[in-house]
């Protein structure tokens, strides 16, 4: 499997770096200054975002899709349940829940704090976004108060995808009222190959 990953560091490309490491796949990592404003990046991601990957010659975008595909391609690494199993449906559930019901709210705040040029930013929904994030985080909190990991009670790629988002929330100070999520993120950070930001 030949993989080129665009994006390094602790941004969302960390999900892909971590999955590749857990799967034991060597890969080429590409990073340049201001990469997301490079026109050339649109060859790999139409919005010039990171991460983007080229896997066996074909471009693939969206961190969760890249991670899921890598996990599927390396079954011996046991990072994901087989397609068609209920555990696989739970993976899809948590990934969709993470991206749509948790990460989107945090991203909206980021977009209006430092991604968009100042004249396009809207600050009126900051508090509401945090409220909506926390409403969903309570769902993950209830699950992780009973389980160490999200699916099959073992570490999987689902934890890599969701863990990145929850670690971002921790760094923003949004996990204080969620002790199980705090413990979960620490459990992930303690893993030797973890690529999440520690600060």
Q: Interface with ligand GSH includes 36 (CB under 6 A)?
A: yes
User: Would you count residue 51 as binding ligand GSH (CB under 6 A)?
Assistant: yes
Q: Per rule CB under 6 A, is residue 50 in the interface with ligand GSH?
A: yes
Q: Considering only residues 5, 12, 30, 151, which one is a binding residue for ligand GSH as defined by CB under 6 A?
A: 12
* SS3 assignment, position 142: helix
Between vectors from CA 130 to CA 49 and to CA 36, what angle results, nearest 5°? Answer: 10
63 binds ligand GSH (CB under 6 A): yes
Any idea what DSSP says for residue 182? H
Q: In angstroms, what CA-CA distances link 150 with 12, 18, 88, 89?
A: 19, 17, 11, 12
Which of 96, 83, 79, 86 lies closest to 159, judged by CA? 79
**Residue with smaller CB distance to ligand GSH, 115 or 193:** 115
Near ligand GSH in 91-150, by CB under 6 A: 115
Closer residue to ligand GSH in complex, CB, 51/188 = 51
By CB under 6 A, name the binding residues for ligand GSH. 11-12, 36, 49-51, 62-63, 115
């Amino acid at each position: 499997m030949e993989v080129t990953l665009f994006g390094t560091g602790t941004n969302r490309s960390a999900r892909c770096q971590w999955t590749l490491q857990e799967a034991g796949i060597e890969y080429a990592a590409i990073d340049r200054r201001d990469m997301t404003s490079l026109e050339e990046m649109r060859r790999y991601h139409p919005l010039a975002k990171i991460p983007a990957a080229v896997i066996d010659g074909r471009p693939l975008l969206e961190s969760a899709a890249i991670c899921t595909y890598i996990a599927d391609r390396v079954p011996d690494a046991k990072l994901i349940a087989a397609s068609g199993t209920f555990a696989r449906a739970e993976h899809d559930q948590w990934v969709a829940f993470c991206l749509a019901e948790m990460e989107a709210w945090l991203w909206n705040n980021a977009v209006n704090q430092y991604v968009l040029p100042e004249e396009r930013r809207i600050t009126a929904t900051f508090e509401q976004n945090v409220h909506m994030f926390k409403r969903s985080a309570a769902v993950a909190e209830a699950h992780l108060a009973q389980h160490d990991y999200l699916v099959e009670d073992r570490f999987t790629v689902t934890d890599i995808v969701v863990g990145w988002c929850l670690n971002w929330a921790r760094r923003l100070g949004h996990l204080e009222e969620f002790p199980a999520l705090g413990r979960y993120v620490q459990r992930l950070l303690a893993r030797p190959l973890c690529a999440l930001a520690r600060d």
